[in-house]
Amino acid sequence: MTQAKQDAPRGGTEFEAGHHLTVGDKSYRWDNIWAGYEGTGWSHSGIAALQDGSVVFAHPEGHRLVRVLPGGEAQEIHTELTEMHAIVAAPLAGREALWVADNGSRYCHGTPDYHEELNVGRVAALDMDGAIRQEIHCPDLPAYAENGWRPTTVAVDGQTGDIWVGDGYGASLVHCFDAAGQLRFTLDGTEAGKHFASPHGIHIRLGGGEREVYVADRGNRRIVVYGLDGAFRRVVGVGHLSSPSSLAELDGILLVTELSGALAMFDGDDFRGHAGQSGRNTADEGWPNQRSHDGNVTRASTPPGVFNSPHGIAVQGGHILLTEWMVGGRFTRLSPDACVTAPLCSGHVVDLKHEHSGNS
């Protein structure tokens, strides 16, 4: 059952003339999606593009999604999950679903510091009203006798239906499940010389006529590439990456969010540079946020055209969609200068509440 009500308008899309970012050899206009949120929620969100042109990301206050429709309306979709850390749209039983990696943790407002809400991590496929359609459970492996299940990323193979999960905040393992949710195999990164240290993002990429799995191994500052059968292929980005978090591909260019404040670009496996570097020192007090004069954690100053702490990424047509890990969050659409785009959000918000009966 779905119950909808109208909330007071909030959100919107800001179009700030003159703010552009060069990514590779293209210039993009920087637009803020769903701008105007002034709450204290600390965003830790993924982002997904749907077939109808909608964009979906986690609400900064957790436990619900925001879906911005192409016509301008924004919906809040309530879920039983804690944090929608990674989101990917994929078909499930003939209709589109949202696969979500919920790391089970989020930061809640407090003074002077935020405190952590901690629940069980989950990986689930959601309907567009927030109901759970399928869930992937923690594998019964010795590593989980000492580590929690804290999945950070999920990717779905559109051809085989296999579901890849990175447990970046738990045992630092990558698991491949079949479409029914049965574990096929597990990778720990030692095939590439060292154990994973937060496999934070996964992307299935077509390169050289063969699909391969790219794992953003954030703590080791590298990307590890595997075949679909789990066979180790190679390591990418060593010496260039500082904090690879999430991955997407546009026109053959691999885009990698660097949590330390940049967007990395690879042509094939060749590093092509960074865009939107913030220059902030991650060792600074309060990063990725800042401290107010009275010592409280507050939102950082985030000028357009510069990334503070980019986290999630997706592509939609020729557009690049990004989220940032910070108080209040920031949700950005980069549009090619040659492309005329309409606002993604008019400011009108509908609240969709789903009444759950178990994990239906």
* Long-range Cβ contact pairs of 5-8 (< 8 A, separation 24 or more): 5/350, 5/351, 5/353, 6/348, 6/349, 6/350, 6/351, 7/76, 7/349, 7/350, 7/351, 8/349
> Of all residues in the chain, what percent carry a pLDDT higher than 90?
78
- CA distance between the termini of the chain: 12
pLDDT of residue 134: 98
* Distance set, CA 59 to CA 33, 74, 173, 353 (Å): 12, 11, 27, 14
Determine contact, residues 59/19, Cβ cutoff 8 Å. no
pLDDT exceeds cutoff 60 at 354: no
Angle 11-301-25 from CA coordinates, rounded to 5° = 85
Question: Is the pTM value of this prediction over 0.85?
Answer: yes
For residue 311, name the pLDDT band (cuts at 50, 70, 90): very high
Q: H-helix or E-strand containing 238?
A: none
DSSP code for 308: S
Average pLDDT for residues 296-314, to the nearest whole number?
A: 94
Which band of pLDDT confidence, cut at 50, 70 and 90, is reported for residue 32? confident
Mean pLDDT of the chain: 89
Look at 114-118, 219-223, 239-243, 337-341 and tell me which has the smallest mean pLDDT: 337-341
Closest Cα partner for 165 from 186, 180, 147, 144?
Answer: 186
Pairing of strands 244-250, 253-258: antiparallel
More confident residue, 207 or 330: 330
Tens digit of pLDDT for each residue in 221-243? 999 999 999 999 999 999 999 99
Q: What is the mean pLDDT of residues 332-348?
A: 66
Bigger pLDDT: 2 vs 231: 231
Query: Taking 80 as the threshold, does the pLDDT of residue 116 lie above it?
Result: yes
Spatial separation of the C-alpha atoms in residues 204 and 176, rounded to whole Å? 12
Per-residue pLDDT, 47: 98
Instruction: Give the Cα separation of 278 and 289 in Å (integer).
Output: 13
Strand partners, 253: 250, 267
Q: What is the per-residue pLDDT for 344?
A: 55
What phi-psi label fits residue 33: left (phi over 0), alpha (psi between -120 and 50 degrees) or beta?
beta
The pLDDT of residue 337 is 85
Mean pLDDT of 57-81: 93
Kind of pairing, strands 74-78 and 349-354? parallel
Q: What is residue 206's predicted lDDT score, i.e. its pLDDT?
A: 82
Q: Decide if pLDDT at 9 tops 90.
A: no
Q: What is the pLDDT of residues 177-230, one digit of tens each?
A: 999 999 999 999 999 999 999 999 999 998 767 899 999 999 999 999 999 999
Confidence at 140, pLDDT banded by 50, 70, 90: very high
Residue 10 has a pLDDT of 37
Whole-number percent of the chain with pLDDT over 70? 88
User: For residue 302, what pLDDT is reported?
Assistant: 86
- Residue 45: name the closest of 327, 360, 250, 342 by CA: 327
